[in-house]
Amino acid sequence: MATAPDAAFDSEWLDTMVKRLIAELEKQLTAVAGAQTEQSTPQSRAADARTLAVLERTLERLAKLERERAVVREKKIARHDTQGRAALERRLDKRLAARGQKGAAGQPDG
């Protein structure tokens, strides 16, 4: 099981890789779109079609990965909020219990 620092590092690394892949996809799409259609041959059009098919599959995978990562981030946020709230409630309960015991023993609050 990964520790918290490892998980944070993996998350940052994956975010960076996704951004780099998206940037590379944009470059490749621009290159294919910028190809001169008047001078294209059937071979170059077929190569462009293959490139676009690969880019489409890659983009679908990236979109799926981003959706999955968004769900994970939401769960982390919700879990941290819940854990923090529970810890605060426990501390407050302890303090209230301690105050109740002091008051019962005739000691002043404060």
Cβ-contact 51, 28 below 8 angstroms: yes
Whether the pLDDT of residue 3 is over 50: the answer is: no
| CA–CA–CA angle 18, 83, 81 (5° rounding) | 55
| Averaged pLDDT for residues 54-80 | 80
More confident residue, 69 or 3: 69
| Averaged pLDDT for residues 19-29 | 84
**How does residue 27 score in pLDDT terms, banded at 50, 70 and 90?**
confident
How many secondary structure helices (H) and strands (E) does the chain include?
2, 0
Neighbours of 22 (CB within 10 A): 15
**How does residue 32 score in pLDDT terms, banded at 50, 70 and 90?**
confident
More confident residue, 109 or 11: 11
Distances (CA, A) of 60 to 7, 32, 52, 74, 89: 25, 18, 12, 21, 44
